[in-house]
Structure 1
């Protein structure tokens, strides 16, 4: 039986280091067969559409933020030697999209592709397609590619599962929940399941990103896990507190262990 961990939207440098440390402690103990970083691992706020024409556009933090991202990846690798997959999110692609739009003559080098900025080759990370089949009948995707957003946790993924005719795990919404829907007749039906795996941004008082009105959003901190046995996939949403603590299968995890991100 395979174990899969879904590393939720962390959006470095806006990540909650307490939650990241606790999750890495958990990874060390649980030892999943595969970690799927489901997108928006990085935020890259400067080269974005909403910063165009503002003072933020002229800040030079892309490389510094990437160094922070590499320290987080190094900490994952310190406790986990097995497979790590990466699905690009809409924030991860900001540097290459900005360069392609405003300096296309320089974009061929792929120097500002997230895989280059974070040294995927050096860390042994495999960048997967936008829709990554991680188990029979199951797809993981970031969630920014043409799906209708719902305010109800899990429902965006549930609707996306119906749209794609597959069971689907996604990030992007920053919500944590499972939604299922069954279609059929006369006792013959198919159930499609959608799973949104939360986020690990820092939303503690005084730490929230400036773009959050009133310092609050309809988000839920956490991550996702799954047991995979052939076509059967057992999903586990794991809520996290702001201090990084959470419970998984009767064990209590905190940020107390030796990590340095």
Structure 2
């Protein structure tokens, strides 16, 4: 099960609550938080030198992030792997750039801000092969971007030679590419797992809209092959999956 970008504090609480309930009910073999669980707008380059740099609190936002991770744990005791997104890394990178004498401290690393130890969460490698032939990454590391849903992930899959699951682009889509000859064919897939932001909170969207799709994704796998499923979500958190409405 893939938990998409939530961008706390710009998250949609109803969608997060709905997916958390789905995880409690279905008990997946593993949950992968795809990254950008947090937004941390204060130490971003967009806020540098503006009033926004001094509004809000990294600590307060982290408390919200920890609480919502705790909600998942109330009904799910399986593995949770966490990929660090570019927004999750903002406090750590801001400290390294603007207060290098303090950069040896790990207090602003995402695993400490969100207390992974207390929640039984593992920080995954940036390129994480979670089952045979499939890799998960947040999506901000050197991928060729596309406006079409599924194709940023597919570009990455073709580059690394394995099927790829990403977040980052806030799109919900699947792209596919087949190679081979003389009947010996092999297919790669690129999967983008959507987002769970409340877009009304994203003041940087100047037109109030973006080519984003809310939802999540999961993969059924036997260790040799995998079938990805995309699940669109309504703003109120409703969705249809596994043969029923949630």
Q: TM-score range by the shorter chain?
A: over 0.9
Measured against aligned partners, the alpha-carbon deviations of 1:78-113 in whole angstroms (never above 9, x if no partner) come to 111110000000000000000000001111111001
Residue of structure 2 aligned with 1:56, choices 29, 52, 55: 52
- What TM-score comes out, normalization by structure 1 length? 0.93
Structure 1 portions without partners, runs of 5+: 254-261
Moved more, 119-128 or 226-235: 226-235
1-structure distance, mates of 2:202, 2:230: 25
Residue of structure 1 aligned with 2:83, choices 62, 87, 93: 87
Residues 208 and 215 of structure 1 are in contact (CA less than 8 Å); yes or no, is this contact kept in structure 2? no
Match runs of 1:150-229 below 5 Å: 150-203=146-199, 207-229=200-222
**Equivalent residue number for residue 256 of structure 1:** none
Q: Which has the higher contact order (CA 8 A, sep 6+)?
A: 1
Q: After TM superposition, give the deviation of residue 208 of structure 1 in Å.
A: 3.2
> What is the alpha-carbon root mean square deviation over aligned residues?
0.9
Structure 2 portions without partners, runs of 5+: none
Residues 141 and 171 of structure 1 are in contact (CA less than 8 Å); yes or no, is this contact kept in structure 2? yes
**Equivalent residue number for residue 259 of structure 1:** none
2-structure distance, mates of 1:171, 1:225: 13
Measured against aligned partners, the alpha-carbon deviations of 1:171-196 in whole angstroms (never above 9, x if no partner) come to 00100011000112222222111000
- What TM-score comes out, normalization by structure 2 length? 0.98
Q: After TM superposition, give the deviation of residue 60 of structure 1 in Å.
A: 4.7
